[in-house]
Structure 1
Amino acid sequence: MVENKSNFNSKGPLPRQGGVNWKPAMQIMSEISTWIVVPIVMALIFGKMLDTRFGTKPIIFLSLAAIAFLFSCFKIVRVVKNYMKKN
């Protein structure tokens, strides 16, 4: 088994030899993760704040959490559909 060692000492990048391209996978993972985390965290923070302000202990908190969950599900489905159309 003979290896081509000329590429190991060159100053340029190694030529791409095929394999998995991780950029699209990381892009869709980060986009979906953002749609999971951001709406739910914002709903929990603002729900807790509004419940404390108006004295409606769990009602606004749970309502905003449910709305954020549904919104996240909708956006995730939309992102995945767009990704599937591209490929």
Structure 2
Amino acid sequence: MKDKQAQNSDYWRGEGLNLFVKLSSWIVMPILLAVWAGKRLDLKFNTEPKIFFATVGIAFIISIAGMIATAMKAMRETEKNNLKNEKIKK
């Protein structure tokens, strides 16, 4: 019984860490890309903060949408696994 509990605990710890990495990447990657692109475009077109703020704003919206989509997918998978486990127990 303890082996089964330890295995279940390891599974959830791994799934939680996987979700954390996915959500963190949705925060970091679009923002870093927007900061880099915004600064480069501002220097090229000499529009100091305008393009920078626009790209960061767009990246923020993309980040939020990506995090919501990823979280919803993870919640659906978790519910599916819970239903599957309940059927196995019965």
CA distance in 1, matches of 2:62, 2:33: 12
Larger of the two Rg values belongs to structure: 1
CA distance in 1, matches of 2:43, 2:16: 41
Q: Which residue of structure 2 aligns with residue 32 of structure 1?
A: 23
Amino acid at match of 2:65: F
CA distance in 2, matches of 1:76, 1:40: 13
Identity between Structure 1 and Structure 2 (%):
29
Q: Which has the higher helix share?
A: 2
| Structure 2 residue ranges without an equivalent (≥5) | 79-90
Aligned residues: 73
Q: Which residue of structure 2 aligns with residue 65 of structure 1?
A: 56
CA RMSD of aligned residues (A): 1.4
Q: Could you tell me the TM-score, scaled by structure 1's length?
A: 0.79
Q: Could you tell me the TM-score, scaled by structure 2's length?
A: 0.76
The runs of 4+ residues in structure 1 deviating greater than 2 Å are: none
